[in-house]
Amino acid sequence: MRTLISAAGLAELLVAGPAPRILDVRWKLGGPPGRAEFRRGHLPGAVYVDLDTELAGHGEPADGRHPLPALADLQAAARGWGLDDGDTVVVYDDLGNMSAARAWWLLRNAGVRDVRLLDGGLAAWRAEGLPVVAGEEPVPAGSVTLAPGSLPTLDADAAAALAEDGVLLDARAAERYRGDTEPIDPRAGHIPGAINAPTGGNLDANGRFLSAAALRARFEALGVRARSAPGDGFDVGVYCGSGVTAAHEAVALTVAGFTPALYPGSWSQWANLPDRPVATGAEPGAGTGASRPSHARRH
């Protein structure tokens, strides 16, 4: 199945049919929610999806800031978006697909086969002169049935092992990876052995994904290699602050032809586990041992 769809390709699909279910996943860390922006203008037929309430669970700090939602909750939300079994789903946002990728990953992981990101998001749609509509219309309930576990995931132990014995990518900005600053989570730095690969490097100046060849070259330069055999599981692990933009890195790795494993708890979980070591600086580094949590504000 294809991972990306262009604005022109989506417009053609809407005319030729069958029409896909379109999900608008506008969200920014710290808010406000994107529903107001959605109501001001969205793709025709799109349904608004709230990342914080529909694409994440809620638990203790040691679960991370955006733990995966319970399958029953995700299925109820997906039915509320009007999804039925066999639907093609297109997701987008207005932030380079940094938040829409979370919906892509969750739905793919839950067994929805044909989920695509609108390459370039809302900006690409508008750049083609295609229409947007205002307001919000009721959506007939769908009947989709979801099942967990279609994509590989990592817990903290597996992430630590992969950072030591394989390749674990940290998708956060370089200053957070280095530990120069940490505005959200209680400790600064990165998982020892993880390699920094900020998500911004996946996109061109127009907010579209780089070509598959360019993405493959990027990740190969960071040490990512394909599995020796199809049954080996996955090629590379990825995490970020709370598991949201790590899904964007997973998209880029998928486009590049690799099979990524996502660490959903990501740094927000790791930093709240006091026995987990932390590395700082520009290199993958060795752990410095447990450190005292700061009083950073949680979102």
Catalytic positions: 240
C-alpha to C-alpha distance for 102 and 184, rounded to whole angstroms: 19
Q: Which of 70, 112, 68, 72 is nearest to 91 (CA)?
A: 112
- Judged by DSSP in three states, 91 sits in strand
209 CB neighbour count, 10 Å cutoff? 22
Q: Helix axis angle, 245-255 relative to 212-221, nearest 10°?
A: 110
What are the tokens at 278?
Answer: 């932390």
**What is the side-by-side strand order in the sheet with 46-48?**
4-5, 115-118, 89-92, 21-24, 46-48
C-alpha to C-alpha distance for 125 and 129, rounded to whole angstroms: 7
291 neighbors 278 (Cβ within 8 angstroms): yes
- Judged by DSSP in three states, 186 sits in coil
C-alpha to C-alpha distance for 167 and 161, rounded to whole angstroms: 10
58 CB neighbour count, 10 Å cutoff? 11
Q: Which of 112, 50, 121, 117 is nearest to 87 (CA)?
A: 112
Kind of pairing between the strands at 236-239 and 168-170: parallel
